Amino acid sequence: MKKLIVFDLDGTIAESKSAIDTEMAGLINELLGIIKVAIISGGNWPQFENQVLANLPQSEAWTNLSLLPTSGTQFYEIKSLTTGWEQLYAENFTEAEKEKIVTALNAAIKATGFVVAKTWGEQIEDRGSQITFSALGQQAPLEEKSKWDPDSAKRKQIKAILNTTIPEFSVNIGGTTSIDITKPGIDKAYGIRKLRDILGIAIEDMIFVGDAIYPGGNDYPAKQAGALSIEVRDPHETKRVIETIIACMK
C-alpha cells in the first residue's frame, strides 16, 4: 500500500499557468482524506497559491498536503489552518550565480536563433531558487505556447548548449515552453528525497504522476530517484489516475 501520491502541476493537474478545475479540486480533496499528497513543480509559490490553494476546498485535510515549488528547491507545509503555510527550506541562488545563468541563457537563445517576435511578460524569471526561461513570456496564452515547441526540440537544443556553458547547474525542460535551472543536484529527485526525509516515507512507498517523465524532462528526476512513476498526457488523464487510486485505496 502506497503512503504518498506526488503530482507535478502544469500539464498534470492543471493546464499551463491555469487553475485546477472544479473536478480536479474535488478529486484532490477526496484523495487528501485518505492519503498524503504532495505537489512538486517548476512554478513559484504564488503560482501554487493561485493555481491550487485558491481553488481547493479548505479543510484540516490540508495537513496531509506538502507543496514543493521551483522543482523541489522549496518546501511548504501546514500544521493547521490557523497557523498557515510554513516554508521549511529554500535553496536560493547567489546574485553571482543568477547573473551567470541569465548571461548563459541569453547566449544560448541567440546561438540557436530561437528569438521570438512577440512575448507576453518576462522571458527569464528569477524565482529565487530557480531561474526559469519561458520562450513566449510568463503570461503567454496556452494556445500560443502549445504551438511553439510541442516536441521539445527547440528547448532540447537550448538545453544542450547550457549543459556545456553552465555544467555546474541542473538544466531541465519543463512546462510547455520553459526551461528550469536550479543548483546542481537540486531538482525533483532532490524534492522526492526531501519528502522522504521530512515525512518519513520511503521512496518505494510513493507514486509520482507527471507529464514530462522522459530524459531531459523536469519530471524525469523523480523517476530517477526511485519513485513509481505514472506518465500522463494531460489533466484529464490525471483525473482518471486519481479516480483509480481512490478506488483501489477504498
Sheet with 36-40: list strands edge to edge: 85-90, 74-78, 65-68, 36-40, 4-7, 206-210, 228-231
Q: Extract the annotated binding site.
A: 8, 10, 127, 178, 180, 211
Helices (H), 188-234: 188-199, 220-224
- Report d(CA 114, CA 131) in Å as an integer: 18
Encode 20-67 in three state secondary structure: CCHHHHHHHHHHHCCCEEEEECCCCHHHHHHHCHHHCCCCHHHHHEEE
User: Which residues on adjacent β-strands are paired with residue 76?
Assistant: 67, 87
- Report d(CA 102, CA 108) in Å as an integer: 10
pLDDT tens digits along 51-94: 999 999 999 999 999 999 998 989 999 999 999 999 999 999 99
Contact 114, 154 (CB under 8 A): yes
Local confidence pLDDT in tens for the 250 residues of the chain: 899 999 999 999 999 889 999 999 999 999 999 999 999 998 899 999 999 999 999 999 999 999 999 989 899 999 999 999 999 999 999 999 999 999 999 999 999 999 998 999 999 999 999 999 999 998 999 899 999 999 999 999 999 999 999 999 999 898 889 999 999 888 899 999 999 999 999 999 999 999 999 888 889 999 999 999 999 999 999 999 999 999 998 8
According to the model, what pLDDT value does residue 186 have?
86
According to the model, what pLDDT value does residue 217 have?
85
According to the model, what pLDDT value does residue 150 have?
93
Cell numbers linked to 92: 536560493
Q: Extract the annotated binding site for alpha-D-mannose 1-phosphate.
A: 127, 178, 180
Domain 4-91+186-249: give its CATH superfamily: HAD superfamily/HAD-like (3.40.50.1000)
Give domain limits for the chain.
4-91+186-249, 95-182
Catalytic residue among 10, 149, 187, 219: 10
Q: Extract the annotated binding site for Mg(2+).
A: 8, 10, 211
| Predicted model pTM | 0.86
Q: Is 10 a catalytic residue?
A: yes
Q: Provide the 3-class DSSP secondary structure of residue 108.
A: helix
Nearest-10 crossing angle of helices 95-112, 153-165: 130
Q: Is 197 a catalytic residue?
A: no
Chain centroid to CA 102: 20
Cα–Cα distances in angstroms (integers) from residue 223 to residues 47, 152, 170, in the given order: 24, 19, 16
Contact 176, 145 (CB under 8 A): yes
Query: For 223-239, b where at least 16 C-beta lie within 10 A, e where not — what string?
Result: bebbbebbbbeebeebb
Class (C level, CATH) for 95-182: alpha beta
According to the model, what pLDDT value does residue 250 have?
81
